């Protein structure tokens, strides 16, 4: 079969389309013919070795075993089952829950043995992938492409909002609001939790589209007076921040938070290292939260919200598998609205 594999840490040239053996499902596993696989920042950072602090690594400290097929937002058809899996599952249209873990319910994502598809396991930049049958769920929508955009970004976004304990009518600022996680954060915070959302984007030409997703206000990070713009839009300090940018907007985020506010981050596309004046944090009683992925219960709630139409897929562009390099370059350019999807 064809697969786009990362051959080692480095640039886009390390992602190569090759012919590899089609995998066989082991006990408890199924073989999935991949129909769609959305791109996430995690595939970029895995290839670049950006998860390591001073050294290259993957999600786990021992690093990635190359070659590795990336891709975690996967939908497709079950075409074969391994031992112990009911044959009736052949033909199911499924979406993949993106990691394995022995953690207790509610703590799966923080278990030490959490292992991610596309990093510790071969993922969906391929024509076929194997995965545990119990982690293959019915698609929330009829379209493979549309159902493939929620697994990682949506799960991450849902868990971020859950951690903030947002109340209807509170105001949350969403950074990187036009991206995969950000566009879902806007929808989840506004349409599911009833919050007022200040969406931060680069290009204000996206204003109308962001408001369609549920944003109350849309501001540009390019503004020379962004901090004042945020306070003016809300009529004062805000309740919470959902961040995927990191350093570039960190100071502003803390400055516009009210006393007792919360800052939750799941990414650092605008800088991985920052400076923090602890006085800002403790004098304002600010809660700093880190968030990656979420629980199976988060995933179930997310899929329910998608089925009900509260959270909708946003797809910017699709690419064939042969153009995986071009797809990652387009994605990293950062000017997308929503997700970029590879179609094997």
Find the mean pLDDT for residues 178-182.
87
Query: What is the chain's length?
Result: 344
Number of domains forming the structure of the chain: 2
E strands present in 20-96: 29-38, 73-81, 93-96
> Do residue 27 and residue 142 come from a single domain?
yes
Give domain status of residue 298, yes or no: no
Other C-beta atoms lying within 10 Å of the C-beta of residue 322: 13
Q: Give the range of the structural domain holding residue 249, as residue numbers without chain letter.
A: 154-290
How far apart are alpha carbons 117 and 86 in whole angstroms? Answer: 23
Query: Which residues, including other chains, have CB under 8 Å from residue 206's CB and lie 6 or more apart?
Result: 178, 218, 337
pLDDT over 70, % of the chain = 96
Give domain status of residue 27, yes or no: yes
> Do residue 165 and residue 139 come from a single domain?
no
Give domain status of residue 309, yes or no: no
> Do residue 282 and residue 333 come from a single domain?
no
Q: What is the pTM of this model?
A: 0.89
Phi and psi, residue 129, nearest 5°: -150, 150
E strands present in 66-119: 73-81, 93-96, 99-100, 115-116
Report residue 274 as tokens: 């920052």
How far apart are alpha carbons 154 and 137 in whole angstroms? Answer: 15
262-304: per-residue pLDDT in tens?
999 998 778 888 899 899 999 999 999 999 899 999 999 999 9
> Do residue 258 and residue 326 come from a single domain?
no
CB 32 within 8 A of CB 130: yes
> Do residue 270 and residue 211 come from a single domain?
yes
How far apart are alpha carbons 289 and 275 in whole angstroms? Answer: 16
Please state, in angstroms and as integers, the Cα–Cα distance from residue 66 to each residue in 9, 69, 251, following that order.
9, 9, 38
204-231: per-residue pLDDT in tens?
999 999 999 999 999 999 999 999 999 9
> Do residue 134 and residue 178 come from a single domain?
no
Give domain status of residue 296, yes or no: no
**Predicted confidence (pLDDT) at residue 142 exceeds the cutoff of 70:** yes
Residue, of 46 and 261, whose pLDDT is higher: 261
| Residue that is written with structure tokens 């680069």 in the block | 202
Give domain status of residue 297, yes or no: no
Angle between helices 296-307 and 153-164 (to 10 degrees): 100
**Predicted confidence (pLDDT) at residue 56 exceeds the cutoff of 60:** no
> Do residue 265 and residue 176 come from a single domain?
yes
Report residue 31 as tokens: 């073989």
231-247: per-residue pLDDT in tens?
999 999 999 999 998 88
> Do residue 158 and residue 144 come from a single domain?
no
């Amino acid at each position: 079969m064809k697969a786009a594999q990362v051959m080692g840490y480095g640039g886009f040239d390390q992602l190569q389309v090759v012919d590899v053996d089609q995998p066989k499902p082991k006990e408890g596993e199924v073989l999935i013919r991949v129909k769609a696989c959305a791109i996430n920042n995690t595939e970029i950072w895995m290839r670049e070795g950006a998860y390591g602090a001073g050294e290259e690594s993957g999600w786990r400290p021992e690093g990635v075993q190359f070659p590795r097929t990336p891709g975690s937002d996967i939908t497709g058809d079950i075409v074969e089952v391994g031992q112990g899996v009911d044959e009736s599952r052949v033909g199911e249209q499924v979406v993949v829950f993106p990691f394995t873990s022995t953690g207790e319910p509610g703590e799966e994502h923080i278990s030490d043995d959490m292992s991610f598809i596309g990093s510790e396991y071969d993922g969906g930049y391929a024509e076929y992938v194997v995965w545990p049958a119990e982690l293959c769920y019915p698609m929330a929508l009829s379209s493979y492409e549309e159902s493939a955009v929620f697994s990682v970004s949506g799960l991450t976004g849902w868990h971020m909002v859950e951690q903030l304990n947002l109340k209807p009518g509170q105001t949350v600022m969403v950074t990187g609001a036009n991206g995969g996680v950000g566009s879902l954060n806007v929808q989840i915070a506004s349409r599911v939790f009833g919050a007022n959302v200040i969406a931060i984007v680069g290009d204000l030409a996206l204003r109308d589209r962001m408001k369609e997703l549920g944003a109350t206000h849309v501001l540009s990070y390019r503004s020379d007076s962004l901090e004042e713009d945020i306070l003016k839009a809300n009529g004062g300090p805000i309740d919470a921040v959902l961040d995927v940018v990191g350093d570039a907007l960190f100071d502003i985020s803390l400055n516009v938070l009210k006393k007792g506010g919360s800052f939750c981050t799941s990414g650092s596309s605008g800088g991985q290292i920052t400076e923090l004046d602890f006085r800002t944090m403790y004098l304002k009683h600010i809660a700093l939260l880190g968030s990656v992925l979420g629980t199976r219960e988060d995933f179930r709630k997310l899929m329910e919200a998608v089925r009900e139409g509260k959270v909708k897929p946003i797809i910017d562009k699709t690419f064939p598998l042969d153009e995986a390099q071009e797809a990652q370059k387009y994605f990293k350019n950062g000017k997308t609205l929503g997700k970029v999807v590879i179609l094997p």
